[in-house]
């Protein structure tokens, strides 16, 4: 555990949680994030991006928002995809640094302390997580590595885990890079990192703990995969 007295000098932090059908996890995740933020930064907010959930996710978040003015709900009336959720989080965050984790409990947000220390030590603009040991199927690991190799071939971006859902980013990166285009598909993280690298921002990586997902995601559906490749080729043609 890091000494809080030696933490990074980041004193304001926006944290957002993309959420789709997370009624079983969302409250525990929000509470865990809040408990950590109370220890590490003086000014903070938690934004929950409800991406058209069909369960009680929205209602649960609304009840929590009423009890704490530092909680905010952004609601997508229909499901628009992970990329749209990330864009809503990025463009609505109000503090100088922005972090996000998936809302399903796959990460231990207290590890943000390691991100803050890494940023202080390196002066990085982006601190992005990579899995110590990813708790997913062998197929997902193979397809992720194939995707990362393709991104490296086309754009020269060498990252251990492009799509790891735990990142810390300076607000100036979001303000500087061209507007993100991806919405539905797995390309959003690649697009963001490619554009950040092209703009000259410093990226460092840090290992994170990963827990098994409690439900099946949509990232490996054929239509999502096809859309991701289409977006990849479109961006390659533009840059």
Domain at 226, CATH number? 3.90.550.10
Dihedrals phi, psi of 12, to nearest 5 degrees: -140, 135
Q: How large is the average pLDDT for residues 186-190?
A: 80
Residue 164: inside a domain: yes
* Lowest-confidence region among 7-11, 131-135, 174-178: 7-11
Does a structural domain hold residue 3? no
User: Does residue 130 contact residue 208 with C-beta atoms inside 8 Å?
Assistant: yes
Range of the domain at 57: 8-238
Determine the Cα angle at 108 with ends 106 and 219, to 5°: 25
pLDDT computed for residue 199 by the predictor:
94
Instruction: Read off the tokens for 11.
Output: 């004193």
Q: Let me know if residue 52 belongs to a domain.
A: yes
Q: Is 2 inside any structural domain?
A: no
Domain presence at residue 136: yes
What's residue 157's pLDDT?
Answer: 85
4: pLDDT strictly greater than 50? no
Is residue 173, in this structure, part of any structural domain at all?
Answer: yes
Q: Which two tokens stand for residue 218?
A: 């949509």
For residue 217, pLDDT over 70 is answered with: no
Please state which of the ranges 77-86, 121-130, 153-162 shows the lowest mean pLDDT.
153-162
Q: Is residue 165 assigned to a domain?
A: yes
Strands (E), 102-150: 126-131
Tally of domains within the chain: 1
The burial class, CB within 10 Å (0-12 / 13-18 / 19+), for 223 is exposed
With bands split at pLDDT 50, 70 and 90, how would you rate the model's confidence at 187? Answer: confident
Which of these ranges, 87-96, 140-149, 204-213, has the smallest mean pLDDT? 140-149
| Closest to 187 in 3D by CA, of 133, 238, 130, 226 | 226
């Amino acid at each position: 555990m890091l000494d809080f007295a030696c933490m990074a000098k980041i004193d304001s932090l926006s944290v957002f949680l993309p959420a789709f059908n997370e009624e079983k996890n969302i409250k525990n995740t929000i509470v865990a994030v809040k408990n950590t933020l109370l220890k590490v930064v003086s000014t903070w907010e938690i934004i929950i991006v409800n991406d058209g959930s069909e369960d009680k996710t929205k209602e649960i978040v609304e009840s929590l928002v009423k009890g704490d003015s530092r909680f905010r709900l952004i609601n997508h009336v229909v499901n628009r995809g992970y990329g749209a959720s990330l864009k809503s989080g990025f463009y609505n965050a109000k503090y100088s640094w922005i972090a996000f984790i998936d809302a399903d409990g796959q990460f231990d947000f207290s590890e943000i302390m390691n991100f803050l220390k890494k940023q202080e030590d390196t002066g990085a603009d982006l601190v992005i997580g990579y899995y110590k040991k990813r708790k997913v199927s062998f197929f997902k690991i193979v397809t992720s590595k194939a995707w990362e190799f393709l991104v490296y071939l086309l754009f020269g971006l060498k990252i251990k885990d492009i799509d790891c859902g735990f990142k810390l980013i300076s607000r100036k990166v979001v303000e500087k890079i061209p507007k993100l285009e991806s919405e539905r598909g797995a390309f959003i993280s690649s697009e963001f990192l490619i554009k950040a690298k092209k703009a000259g921002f410093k990226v460092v990586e840090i290992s994170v703990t990963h827990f098994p997902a409690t439900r099946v995601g949509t990232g490996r559906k054929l239509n999502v995969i096809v859309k991701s490749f289409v977006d990849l080729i479109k961006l390659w043609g533009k840059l």
